Structure 1
Amino acid sequence: MNQAHYHLLLNHFPIIVPFIGLLIIIGGFILKSEILKRAAYCIFILGALFTIPALSTGEGAEKVMEHIEGISKSLIHEHEEKAEVFAILSYVLGVVSILALWSNWKKKTYAPFTLYLAIILSLVVLYFAAQTGVTGGEIRHSEIRSNNLSIENDK
Structure 2
Amino acid sequence: MNDAHLHMVVNHFPIIGTILGLGILIVGIILKNNSVKNTAYALFIVAALFALASIATGDGAEELVEDMPNIGKRIIHEHEEIAEKLAIVLYLLGAISILGIVLNLKNNSKAKFISFVAVIVAIVGTYLTILAGTSGGEIRHTEIRDDAITTKVIPNSSPTNEINEGDGK
How many angstroms apart in 2 are the aligned matches of 1:34 and 1:5?
Answer: 37
Bigger radius of gyration among the two = 2
Identity %: 46
User: Is 1:29 aligned to residue 29 of structure 2?
Assistant: yes
How many angstroms apart in 1 are the aligned matches of 2:61 and 2:105?
Answer: 40
Name the aligned partner's letter for residue 79 of structure 1. Answer: H
Counterpart residue number, 1:77: 77
Counterpart residue number, 1:6: 6
How many angstroms apart in 2 are the aligned matches of 1:149 and 1:60?
Answer: 29
Q: Alpha-carbon deviation of 1:30?
A: 1.4
Q: Which moved more, 1:64-73 or 1:130-139?
A: 64-73
Name the aligned partner's letter for residue 105 of structure 1. Answer: L
How many angstroms apart in 2 are the aligned matches of 1:84 and 1:132?
Answer: 9
- Superposition pairs of residues 55-134 of structure 1, within 5 angstroms: 55-134=55-134
Deviations 1:136-155 (A, max 9, x none): 111111111122249xxxxx
| TM-score using structure 2 length | 0.85
Q: Which runs of 5+ in 1 are unaligned?
A: 151-155
CA contact (8 A) 2:18 2:44 kept: yes
How many angstroms apart in 2 are the aligned matches of 1:31 and 1:76?
Answer: 42
Counterpart residue number, 1:153: none
Q: Alpha-carbon deviation of 1:25?
A: 0.9
Q: Alpha-carbon deviation of 1:23?
A: 1.5
Q: Would you say how many aligned residue pairs link Structure 1 and Structure 2?
A: 150
| TM-score using structure 1 length | 0.93
Tell which has more relative contact order, 1 or 2 (C-alpha 8 A, sep 6+): 1
CA contact (8 A) 2:10 2:50 kept: yes
Counterpart residue number, 1:137: 137
Name the aligned partner's letter for residue 88 of structure 1. Answer: I
Q: Which runs of 5+ in 2 are unaligned?
A: 151-169
Q: Alpha-carbon deviation of 1:3?
A: 0.9
Counterpart residue number, 2:162: none
Runs of 4+ in 1 over 6 A off after TM superposition: none
Q: Which moved more, 1:122-131 or 1:19-28?
A: 19-28
Q: Alpha-carbon deviation of 1:4?
A: 0.7
How many angstroms apart in 2 are the aligned matches of 1:82 and 1:108?
Answer: 35
Counterpart residue number, 2:45: 45
Counterpart residue number, 2:19: 19
Deviations 1:24-73 (A, max 9, x none): 11111111111101111111111111111111100000000023122121
How many angstroms apart in 2 are the aligned matches of 1:90 and 1:16?
Answer: 12
Name the aligned partner's letter for residue 146 of structure 1. Answer: D
Q: Which moved more, 1:69-78 or 1:82-91?
A: 69-78
